[in-house]
Structure 1
Amino acid sequence: MSDQPRAPLTTTTSIWPAAAILITGAVMLAVFMVINLVADQGVTPTTTTVPVVVGGLAVAPSTQVLSLCSHNNNMPSNISGVFLVPLKTSRSAPGRIPNAGAGDFDCYQPLHTAASAADLLGFYAAQLESRGWNLFSTGSSNGNPESLFQKAGNDGFYWVVGITVTSSSASSSNWTFRIYQNSQTI
């Protein structure tokens, strides 16, 4: 049993199995890309329009009474549509930017409108909800009628609008428009 020592057997390693997997993957990718190109229907552009709310109070063509609040360079584009008032609205006192710790933006404007409190709050409920604002609170802790609306701004923060009627009669209302950036992010 004295066999002569032999060198170990040598085998050649083939790269063809790995290449076959790579080629199969490339062919599958190409096939699905062709299917995607053939079946693609393209992107249809959508146009956005300003909603028209029928009935109730009419929207004033100019919002100069809210110019203190609306002339802010940091206002997100999807929030700026909130600055609307009913016809026959005027300032009843100078507005303020109180910076009450609500966020980076806080604006308060006292106004007077020739409409009842119910009509005024109904106007804002219809107009703001049709523009994507969420009515999340009605009433007030001090007894004055109030509506609070909230919307996620494309700046990453929630924005809140408050309409608070401070005094009213059957034909007129004194009220405040307040908008602020909530300090909590989306």
Structure 2
Amino acid sequence: MKITTKFLIFFSAFCFSVITMGGDDLSAYVASSENREGYSDKHHPLLTNELSEKKQMTGPKSATKSPVNFAEHYVISTVGCGGGTACGEIANASTGNVVGSFPNAYYINGEDGTAPFAFISKPDSRLLIIIGVSADPEIGMSGEEIGQYNRQRHYEFIDNKLHLIRILEK
């Protein structure tokens, strides 16, 4: 079996285990069952703004054609942002505005040509999980600067901002 196939099997199992983590308090970030339909209208064309003009627009432009994958009417897309890293942006499917971005760039090219970057989101949840090694120092739970390391970060999306709620070292 090729190394890439083994990696994909391992990575898929890992992502499944993260999504199905039972017994913890992450269920509070999923929308109530009354409002499970989410946004189903036609996506608004992407509008440029100060935030979206800072980065390449290929990811967000294609995101406006993608199905909603986050917090009922948002689309998360990633794009290469140089130096072997990926950046993520959050676009409002109903307005076309890019309303936020990932708090850091994350390595996709490690010393061996790969890096464990992934994000996990659900259409009916405000919870965003980002897995990987940040390209720049990060701010920890207590406001302290923490170094580069493979981490799993849990964010809650409130008022178009990602709020760090938990960090797990990998």
TM-score by length of 2: 0.24
TM-score by length of 1: 0.23
Highest Rg: 1 or 2?
A: 1
The structure with the greater share of residues assigned to helix is: 1
